[in-house]
A and B are shown apart, each in its own frame.
Chain A
Amino acid sequence: MTMLLEPPIRAEYERTIEAGPGGALARPAPLSSRIAGLSWLRKGLVLLVLALLWEGLGRWQDSDLLLPTFLQTAAALWSGLVSGELLANVAVSLSVLLQGYLAGIVLAFALTALAVSTRIGRDLLETLTSMFNPLPAIALLPLALLWFGLGRGSLIFVIVHSVLWPLALNTYAGFRGVPDTLRMAGRNYGLGGLRLVLQVLVPAALPSILSGLKIGWAFAWRTLIAAELVFGATSGKGGLGWYIFQNRNELYTDKVFAGLALVILIGLVMENLVFRVLERVTVLRWGMQR
C-alpha cells in the first residue's frame, strides 16, 4: 500500500503593512569589505609581491650583469628620469606612437563605417583584414624603409598597420552585434548613413571598440619598441627601444631593465588611468559592461 502525501491545512492570516520600512533600507558596508573592494589596492598588492620576489631572486643570483635587483633597477630608472635622458627617449617614442595610433584609428573608423553602410565595403574590409591581420607589422619594416626612407614615416607606417586591422576587426564585430531593434529605432527617427553610425552604432558597439583600442595600443607599443630595437637609429633621435638596445651593447643591464620597466609602467598607466577611466564614464556607467 502506498502512502499519499497530504500537505497539512493551515490557518490563513492577513496583515496590514505599516508605512515606511521598519529598519533603514540601506546601511554602510563594513570597513573591511570596503577596503577589499578597492581594486587599485589589490592590484598594488600584486605589484608589491612581484617586486619583492624580483628583489629576492636578484640578491640570490647576485649578478649585476645578468639580473639587476629591483632596487638597482629603480635607482637606474630614477637617475635616468632625473637626468632627462630617459624622458627624452620616451618623448620621441610616444610622439611617434601617438601619431601612428591616431592615424590607425581614423583609418579603421573610415573602413568600418564603409563596411556597415555598403556591401562592397563589407567585402573590402573582410578581405583586407583576413589578409593583413596575421601579417606581423615588423615584417613590413624593411619594405617601409625602402618606401619612406630612414625616419619617422616608416615607423608610423608600421604602427598604423599594427593598429588598423585588429581595431577594424573589433569595431566591425561590435557594429554587427548591435541589436536590430536599436538600429530600427534609429532609422525610425530619420537617422541614416554616417549619422546612424555616429549616433547609434558607435556608442552601442563601444565595449568592442574599447577592447579594440586596447589591443591596438598594445600592438602599437610592441611594434614600435621592436622597430626601434632593430632600426632604432633610423629616426635619428633614438627612442625607448633604441635606449634599451644601446645599453645592452654597453652591458648596462640595470639601464636595460629600467627601459623595460618604463615600457611596462607606461602600459600600466595607459590601462589603469586612460582606458579604465574611459570605461567608467561610458560602458560601465551605462550598464553595458560590468
Chain B
Amino acid sequence: MSPREQQLLQVVGGNHAGLPEPLLRMREVSLEFAGGGRIVRATDRVSFDVHRGDRFVLLGPSGCGKSSLLKAAAGFIAPAGGSIELAGKPVRGPGPDRVVVFQEFDQLPPWKTVKQNVMFPLLASRRLGRREAEERALHWIGKVGLSSFADAFPHTLSGGMKQRVAIARALAMQPDILLMDEPFAALDALTRRKMQEELQQLWEELRFTLLFVTHSIEEALVVGNRILLLSPHPGRVRAEINSHQFGLHSAGGAEFQGATQRIHQLLFENGDQHAASPLQRSSAS
C-alpha cells in the first residue's frame, strides 16, 4: 500500500480532528427518482465535506449521480435520505447563496444582453438596486474579459463566451459556494483548456469555494484540490483523493500520469461491465 493510500484511509476512516467546520456537509445522502412505475436509486449514502476555499470535484462515469448530487446541494432535488447542510443550516430548496453554472448554453435568457444577464440574479434576489447591480455586473464582465460585449445578446456569442457570462453571473452574486455542473463539457478542447486556465486564475485571485462536477479525469486533476470518486449504479463513494499539487502545467508530467492511472484503476478495477463505459480520459488535454 502506498503512503498516499494510507493517508487516504486515515481521512476516510473519520479522522477529522483538527479540521475546521466544513462549509458544505453531505451526510449519507441518498437520492431517488421515480419514473415508469418504479423508483431508481441514483446515489447511495454518499458523504463528503467541502471546506471554505476548496475546489472540490465530483468525478465518476455517467450514472454515478454526480450531477444529481450537485443539484441536491443546489436544492433542486430533495434527498430521500441523509442530510445536506450549508454553513450548519439544512438546505431546503434553491437559493442565491449557492449559484449554479450549468453545462447547457441555454442557461442564459436569450432576451437579456450580457450585462442584463449578469444583473438578473442580483435583481431577482432583490440584493441590489438597479444602479449598484449594473456597476457590479460591469465589474465582473470585465473580470471574464467580455467588457466589449456587455450589450451583446447571447445568441451572438460563442460557446466559450456564453460560459464566461454564466461564470461572471455566478461570481457577481458572491455566493457561499459556486456549483459548476460540467461547465466546460460542451466546449471544444482548445476553448475548454483556456476556460480551465481562466477559472484557475479567478480562483487564485478570489479564493471562492467551488463544487465542480466532471467526467474527465484530467479536468478533475487540473481544476480541483480534492476529488471525490464515485462508482455508478447507484452512485457510491469509491475514494477521496488530493490533487492540490497539480496545475494546468503538470498535465504531461510523470506524477500526473500516475495519478490519472490510479484514478482510472479506482474507478474500473472491479472489472465489471461498466469498465467498458466511455470515460472521456482525453477530453481535458
Point out residues on A near B: beta carbons under 8 Å: 179, 181-182, 184-191, 195, 199-200, 203-204, 206, 282, 285-288
Q: How many A-B residue pairs have CB under 8 A?
A: 68
In the bound complex, do residue B107 and residue A286 qualify as a contact, i.e. CB atoms below 8 Å apart? no
Contacts of A182 in B (CB 8 A): 106-107, 109
In the bound complex, do residue A186 and residue B124 qualify as a contact, i.e. CB atoms below 8 Å apart? yes
In the bound complex, do residue A288 and residue B110 qualify as a contact, i.e. CB atoms below 8 Å apart? yes
Of B94, B121, B124, B126, which is within 8 A of A184 by CB? Answer: B94
In the bound complex, do residue B109 and residue A191 qualify as a contact, i.e. CB atoms below 8 Å apart? no
In the bound complex, do residue B110 and residue A190 qualify as a contact, i.e. CB atoms below 8 Å apart? no
Interface residue tally for chain B (C-beta within 8 Å):
26
Of A188, A206, A288, which is within 8 A of B100 by CB? Answer: A188
In the bound complex, do residue B155 and residue A286 qualify as a contact, i.e. CB atoms below 8 Å apart? yes
- Nearest CB to that of A287 among chain B residues? B155
Which 6 residue pairs are nearest across A and B when measured between Cβ atoms?
Answer: A287-B155, A189-B121, A189-B124, A181-B104, A179-B106, A190-B125
Min C-beta distance of B166 to chain A, whole Å: 9
Within 8 A of A (CB), among B90-141: 94-96, 98-100, 102, 104, 106-107, 109-111, 120-121, 124-126
In the bound complex, do residue A203 and residue B109 qualify as a contact, i.e. CB atoms below 8 Å apart? yes
A187 and B98 alpha carbons, distance in the complex (Å): 11
A172 and B219 alpha carbons, distance in the complex (Å): 41
- Nearest CB to that of B156 among chain A residues? A287
Point out residues on B near A: beta carbons under 8 Å: 71, 74, 76, 94-96, 98-100, 102, 104, 106-107, 109-111, 120-121, 124-126, 153-156, 173
With most chain B CB atoms within 10 A of its CB, the pick from A182, A190, A195 is A190
With most chain B CB atoms within 10 A of its CB, the pick from A179, A182, A188, A285 is A188
Q: A181-B104, A182-B109 are in contact. Are A199 and B94 (CB under 8 A)?
A: no
In the bound complex, do residue A181 and residue B102 qualify as a contact, i.e. CB atoms below 8 Å apart? yes
Min C-beta distance of B122 to chain A, whole Å: 8
Contacts of A188 in B (CB 8 A): 74, 94-96, 98-100, 121
A15 and B153 alpha carbons, distance in the complex (Å): 36
In the bound complex, do residue B102 and residue A286 qualify as a contact, i.e. CB atoms below 8 Å apart? no
- Nearest CB to that of A288 among chain B residues? B110
- Nearest CB to that of B170 among chain A residues? A188
A179 and B154 alpha carbons, distance in the complex (Å): 15
Contacts of A190 in B (CB 8 A): 94-96, 124-126
Q: A187-B94, A203-B109, A203-B111 are in contact. Are A287 and B153 (CB under 8 A)?
A: yes
A29 and B111 alpha carbons, distance in the complex (Å): 29
A201 and B140 alpha carbons, distance in the complex (Å): 26
Contacts of B94 in A (CB 8 A): 184, 187-188, 190
